[in-house]
Structure 1
Amino acid sequence: MNFSASCVDALQEKNNPVPQATKPYSADILPYLMKGRYFNGSKSVGVKFADRFKEIAGNKAQRPEVTILMVALTSTSVYAALLWKSNKSPSKFNFTGNQFSEVYAFHVNFLNEMEENAPSKFHKLMADIFSAVQTLCSNGAAAVASHKDAMAFLDLDGMDDDE
């Protein structure tokens, strides 16, 4: 067993989240956040710069993609939110460029390297994220139109009770 496999086993034993090596940036939260920030309304970046996505679609897969910067900023915001939560949700917590620039730069550099070293996998990943965002845009609001609909998704019997 190699080092990384033993680390994954140790994390799984403690019920900690483990990165999915074959599906980076594939957490459901990313398309959801991207829809809300980049593709929500006529003044949103995704609508104002729709031509940019058509230009990106000129890749080999001929599918529109999200940009590296969108994925990096969204991933950085998720990191910041998790950090905020791990610090017991303090009332004063600033999401500033200086505070999280290293995290943002890491994601930008990582994705740039992925694009250079594995272009077909990179383009598929970015196109799949774009597709997930568009699916949310087209039927996301209809899927959960009310609190009653949202409650239907819960497994109340499977949830733990307060003891």
Structure 2
Amino acid sequence: MSAFAIRTATPADGPGIGRIDRETWSPLSAVTPEPEPPYGPYFDAGHRPEDVLVAVGPGGIRGYVRLVRPTPLAANAHVLQINGFAVVDEARGRGLGRALLRAAADEARRRGVRRLTLRVLGHNAPARALYEAEGYAVEGVLPGEFFLRGEYVDDVLMGKAL
């Protein structure tokens, strides 16, 4: 894993992050349709570079994690949500996903956040195992929340205290 550096994204990273989103799209993790050209920009008003950490290594950006406020309410300003997380296939199994999750927790602490949350599809066992290994616990399940490819899939809410 030492061949990777994790840093805050810059506007110039948008095309690389968008490419990763397209390359890693999978029915195991996505509720949106498979991306098709023409592809829009990754960064916009709802996707800001300062909310994204990227892992850079040989070949450029190899993974990213995005942290957002789950609501604009002051009452939960102490919470951030992981709302985008991907690692290119050739970098998987090398600890990069784990390093990105740990960097996200460090960044959240730096911002004064007390909790990190995320949502994961119930059938995505590899992602759920990684999150659990990093201290996230299931805090709720929305049964059959999504109808994907002919079957109902649970939306699993996970979180951890910082």
Q: Please indicate, yes or no, whether the TM-score normalized by the shorter chain is above 0.5.
A: no
TM-score range, shorter chain: under 0.3
More strand by share: 2
Structure with higher RCO (Cα < 8 A, 6+ apart): 1
**TM-score under structure 2 length normalisation:** 0.28
Larger radius of gyration: 1
More helix by share: 1
